[in-house]
């Protein structure tokens, strides 16, 4: 058979990615997140290739096999590179106005998070600024942030409300999430976090605020279909165990799946609540009890760990990832991007997980991809490179996956594909001016 007729006999694909040094597929965990030792198993194909058609992955394998079967309209060489599923960021507070670098300086100089919050700063300051900001402006800010996240390898982002503190402002934030999901190629998964902090006017009557959240806000959020998950910041100084349970139960009644900010600054039993209510995930977990973690493992509650939050708060106590993994709870990683933790880069979070929590690079990669997809209930569609899944693909300028934990401070993304379309190509960028040759 001539070369031309052999080419005709091959199946057509829109894009082939070929010759990846490591094609990290994370195959085989779409039904259940990876736990324990499985978190180290990445199902890597060396000299790997992918075929993509109509936004979906149609074949995965060795380059030699894929190129024998498929003819690509475009062929992308990943020689010397590492190819991963696009990161899923399962915990962000994407939408808010303003920033808090002044408070950052106060914290550097010794003020604590709770001191700042109690003096009307922190989340309360961001809530005031967000309340004054129109939805169009929030969308504009969100688009910039999604651009930054995509540029660093993330293709799906969970976004929590919570800077509203009134029903109308919470609806405004969730409306901004909905528009962002329509406008930007990055998928935005909305979570209702009405119980984030206590508004000043309810300081002496927190239960009354919870009544509003439970009786009014959740009902309207659910009726408008503006959120998939319901989250609560369970902490000393914010919402106690009883209030947390009330909000999560009300959310569940309206079809919002429970998540919880648990044991971030103190041990309040957040992990136990998550296990008790059958939450999808419990997030932070810096101070969780061993019993709480074991209960989570038993119920399959995902531990979403957020080392960048610990780093931003300049705390010494990171979540005990080794213990959590050993107990068999599935671990995911997120940025916790918010006005207090200006981190949009999941590569940095992977590196922090290795440096500060002694997760192996493979565990951290698992946690930021397939397990993070489970944490937002999207693992049937995202989080691994498998036939049928959405072609959200990150090509890193790294010789292997370990380099992702090892390297910090430099963006390793070379190309990003979202829904099978090349949306970032840093190879195509013009050379910096200082490198241009002078005659
Ligand atoms: Zn958070």
Query: What separation in Å is there between the alpha carbon of 5 and the centre of ligand 1?
Result: 57
How many residues are present in the chain? 439
Query: What separation in Å is there between the alpha carbon of 287 and the centre of ligand 1?
Result: 15
| pLDDT grade for 430, boundaries at 50, 70 and 90 | low
45 alpha carbon, distance to own chain's centre: 25
Give the span between the Cα atoms of 426 and 439, in whole angstroms: 27
Query: What separation in Å is there between the alpha carbon of 232 and the centre of ligand 1?
Result: 10
Query: What separation in Å is there between the alpha carbon of 136 and the centre of ligand 1?
Result: 23
Report residues near ion ligand 1: CB below 5 Å.
336
Query: What separation in Å is there between the alpha carbon of 19 and the centre of ligand 1?
Result: 39
Give the span between the Cα atoms of 18 and 49, in whole angstroms: 4
Query: What separation in Å is there between the alpha carbon of 336 and the centre of ligand 1?
Result: 5
Q: What torsion, rounded to 10 degrees, do the Cα atoms 121, 124, 127, 129 define?
A: -30
* 204 pLDDT above the threshold of 80: yes
Query: What separation in Å is there between the alpha carbon of 416 and the centre of ligand 1?
Result: 26
* 85 pLDDT above the threshold of 90: yes
- Burial label for 236, CB within 10 Å (0-12, 13-18, 19+), is exposed
Give the span between the Cα atoms of 269 and 274, in whole angstroms: 9
SS3 per-residue string spanning 35-72: CHHHHHCCCEEEEEEEEEECCEEEEEEEHHHHHHHEEE
The DSSP string of 312-348 is: HTT-S----HHHHHHHT--EEE----BTTB----HHH
Query: What separation in Å is there between the alpha carbon of 205 and the centre of ligand 1?
Result: 24
Cβ(357)–Cβ(346) below 8 Å: no
Bridge partners for 57 per DSSP: 52
Query: What separation in Å is there between the alpha carbon of 147 and the centre of ligand 1?
Result: 20
Give percent of the chain above pLDDT 90: 84
Query: What separation in Å is there between the alpha carbon of 124 and the centre of ligand 1?
Result: 14
Give percent of the chain above pLDDT 70: 96
Classify 228 as helix, strand or coil: coil
| pLDDT grade for 133, boundaries at 50, 70 and 90 | very high
pLDDT digits (tens, 9 = 90+) for 379-416: 999 999 999 999 999 999 999 999 999 999 999 999 99
Query: What separation in Å is there between the alpha carbon of 129 and the centre of ligand 1?
Result: 18
Query: What separation in Å is there between the alpha carbon of 92 and the centre of ligand 1?
Result: 6
The closest of 369, 238, 367, 217 to 306, measured between CA atoms, is 367
Query: What separation in Å is there between the alpha carbon of 292 and the centre of ligand 1?
Result: 19
Query: What separation in Å is there between the alpha carbon of 282 and the centre of ligand 1?
Result: 11
Pairing relation of β-strands 331-333 and 393-396? Answer: unpaired
- Of the two residues 118 and 143, the one the predictor is more confident about is 143
Phi, psi for residue 57 in degrees, rounded to 5: -80, 125
| pLDDT grade for 323, boundaries at 50, 70 and 90 | very high
Helix (H) or strand (E) holding 253: helix 241-253
The residue-averaged pLDDT of 333-362 equals: 97
Cβ(152)–Cβ(186) below 8 Å: no
Query: What separation in Å is there between the alpha carbon of 405 and the centre of ligand 1?
Result: 23
The closest of 419, 387, 384, 385 to 59, measured between CA atoms, is 387
Query: What separation in Å is there between the alpha carbon of 335 and the centre of ligand 1?
Result: 9
The closest of 22, 185, 186, 162 to 88, measured between CA atoms, is 186
Bridge partners for 338 per DSSP: 341
The pLDDT of residue 146 is 98
The residue-averaged pLDDT of 305-334 equals: 96
Query: What separation in Å is there between the alpha carbon of 13 and the centre of ligand 1?
Result: 40
Query: What separation in Å is there between the alpha carbon of 84 and the centre of ligand 1?
Result: 26
Distance between start and end Cα atoms, the chain: 52
Instruction: Write down the pTM of the prediction.
Output: 0.95
Token output for 184: 């930007």
Query: What separation in Å is there between the alpha carbon of 239 and the centre of ligand 1?
Result: 14
Residue listed under structure tokens 């369970």: 234
Helices and strands, number each (H, E), in the chain: 18, 16
Arithmetic mean of pLDDT over the chain: 94
pLDDT digits (tens, 9 = 90+) for 106-116: 989 998 878 88
The pLDDT of residue 234 is 86
* 1 pLDDT above the threshold of 90: no
Query: What separation in Å is there between the alpha carbon of 429 and the centre of ligand 1?
Result: 34
Query: What separation in Å is there between the alpha carbon of 94 and the centre of ligand 1?
Result: 10
Name every residue whose Cβ is closer than 8 Å to that of residue 15 and which is 6 or more positions away in sequence: 51, 52, 72, 73, 74, 75, 76, 391, 417, 420, 422
Query: What separation in Å is there between the alpha carbon of 159 and the centre of ligand 1?
Result: 10
Residue listed under structure tokens 């992955």: 57
The pLDDT of residue 136 is 98
Query: What separation in Å is there between the alpha carbon of 2 and the centre of ligand 1?
Result: 60
Query: What separation in Å is there between the alpha carbon of 93 and the centre of ligand 1?
Result: 6
Helix (H) or strand (E) holding 370: helix 370-375
The DSSP string of 383-424 is: SS--TTSB--EEEESSSSTHHHHH--SS--EEEEEETTEEEE
* 7 pLDDT above the threshold of 60: no
The residue-averaged pLDDT of 251-267 equals: 93
Token output for 255: 């079809």
156 alpha carbon, distance to own chain's centre: 7
* 432 pLDDT above the threshold of 80: no
Query: What separation in Å is there between the alpha carbon of 293 and the centre of ligand 1?
Result: 19
pLDDT digits (tens, 9 = 90+) for 94-103: 999 999 999 9
CA separation (Å) from 253 to 330, 378, 395?
26, 21, 42
Query: What separation in Å is there between the alpha carbon of 263 and the centre of ligand 1?
Result: 12
* 197 pLDDT above the threshold of 70: yes
Give the span between the Cα atoms of 350 and 367, in whole angstroms: 8
The residue-averaged pLDDT of 43-57 equals: 98
Query: What separation in Å is there between the alpha carbon of 91 and the centre of ligand 1?
Result: 6
Query: What separation in Å is there between the alpha carbon of 193 and the centre of ligand 1?
Result: 9
The pLDDT of residue 439 is 46
The residue-averaged pLDDT of 219-227 equals: 97
Query: What separation in Å is there between the alpha carbon of 338 and the centre of ligand 1?
Result: 7
Query: What separation in Å is there between the alpha carbon of 270 and the centre of ligand 1?
Result: 14
The pLDDT of residue 200 is 83
The closest of 278, 327, 271, 281 to 302, measured between CA atoms, is 281
- The CA radius of gyration of the chain, in Å to the nearest whole number, is 22
Bridge partners for 83 per DSSP: 23, 395
């Amino acid at each position: 058979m001539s070369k031309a007729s052999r080419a005709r006999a091959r199946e057509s694909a829109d894009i082939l990615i070929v010759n990846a040094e490591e094609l990290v597929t994370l195959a085989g965990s779409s039904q259940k997140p990876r736990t324990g030792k499985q978190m180290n198993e990445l199902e890597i194909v060396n000299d790997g290739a992918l075929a993509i058609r109509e936004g979906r992955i149609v074949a995965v394998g060795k380059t030699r096999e894929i190129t024998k079967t498929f003819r690509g309209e475009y062929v992308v060489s990943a020689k010397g590179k590492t190819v991963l599923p696009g990161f899923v960021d399962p915990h962000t507070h994407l939408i808010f106005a303003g920033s808090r670098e002044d408070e950052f300086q106060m914290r550097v100089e010794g003020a604590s998070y709770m001191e700042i919050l109690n003096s009307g700063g922190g989340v309360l300051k961001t809530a005031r600024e967000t309340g004054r900001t129109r939805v169009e402006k929030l969308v504009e800010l969100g688009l910039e942030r999604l651009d930054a996240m995509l540029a660093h390898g993330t293709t799906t982002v969970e976004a929590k409300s919570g800077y509203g503190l009134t029903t109308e402002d919470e609806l405004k934030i969730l409306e901004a999430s909905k528009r962002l999901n329509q406008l930007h190629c990055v998928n935005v998964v909305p979570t209702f976090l009405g119980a984030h902090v206590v508004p000043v006017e309810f300081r002496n009557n927190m239960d009354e605020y919870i009544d509003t959240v439970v009786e009014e806000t959740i009902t309207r959020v659910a009726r408008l279909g503006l959120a998939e998950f319901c989250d609560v910041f369970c902490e000393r100084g914010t919402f106690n165990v009883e209030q947390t349970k009330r909000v999560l139960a009300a959310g569940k009644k309206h079809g919002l799946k429970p998540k919880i900010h648990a044991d971030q600054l103190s041990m309040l039993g957040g992990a136990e609540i998550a296990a008790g209510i059958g939450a999808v995930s419990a997030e932070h977990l810096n101070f969780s009890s061993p019993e709480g973690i074991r209960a989570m493992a038993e119920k399959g509650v995902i531990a979403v760990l957020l080392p960048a939050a610990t780093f931003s708060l300049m705390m010494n106590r990171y979540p005990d990832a080794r213990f959590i993994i050993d107990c068999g709870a599935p671990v995911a990683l997120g940025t916790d991007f918010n006005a207090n933790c200006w981190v949009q880069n999941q590569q940095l979070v992977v590196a922090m997980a290795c440096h500060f929590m002694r997760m192996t690079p493979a565990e951290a990669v698992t946690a930021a991809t397939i397990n993070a997809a489970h944490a937002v209930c999207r693992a049937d569609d995202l989080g691994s490179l498998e036939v049928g899944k959405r072609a959200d693909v990150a090509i890193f300028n790294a010789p292997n996956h370990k380099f992702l934990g090892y390297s910090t401070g430099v963006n390793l993304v070379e190309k990003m594909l979202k829904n099978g379309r090349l949306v970032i190509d840093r190879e195509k960028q013009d050379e910096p001016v200082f490198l241009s040759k002078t005659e």
